[in-house]
Amino acid sequence: MSNVQEIPQMVSQLVDLSKQYVRQETIEPAKRLGRAAGMGLLAAVLFAIGAVLLSMATLRTILGVIGDGPIASALGYLIAMGVLIAVIGLLGWRMKRNVE
């Protein structure tokens, strides 16, 4: 059995072990999770910027091929929108297929 004089030392060891355990099992994984979430958010923002730039490039290419004029311009916008919707649909179809 323990001595009465050893009880404060045992309590301080228990507190230290508890602090280490909490740090090891909660704080460190939370930091890693936050870092991964930040990288995921950054990737999403970069993909969105890339999608906007690619759609603008597609529109400009289509407008360059079709020519000038109000009807040609409207047709170019409609074609670019159709291409963008088709790409979004294809990505959604592939993502849904991979989930199942």
| pLDDT: which is higher, 3 or 43 | 43
**H or E element that contains 18:** helix 7-22
Q: What is the pLDDT of residues 13-49, one digit of tens each?
A: 999 999 888 888 888 888 889 999 999 999 999 999 9
Mention every residue, 6+ apart, whose C-beta is less than 8 A from residue 72: 63, 66
Question: Binning pLDDT at 50, 70 and 90, where does residue 99 land?
Answer: low
When divided into structural domains, the chain yields a total of 1
Phi, psi of 3 (to 5 degrees): -75, 155
Domain holding 79, by residue range, is 4-99
Question: Binning pLDDT at 50, 70 and 90, where does residue 51 land?
Answer: confident
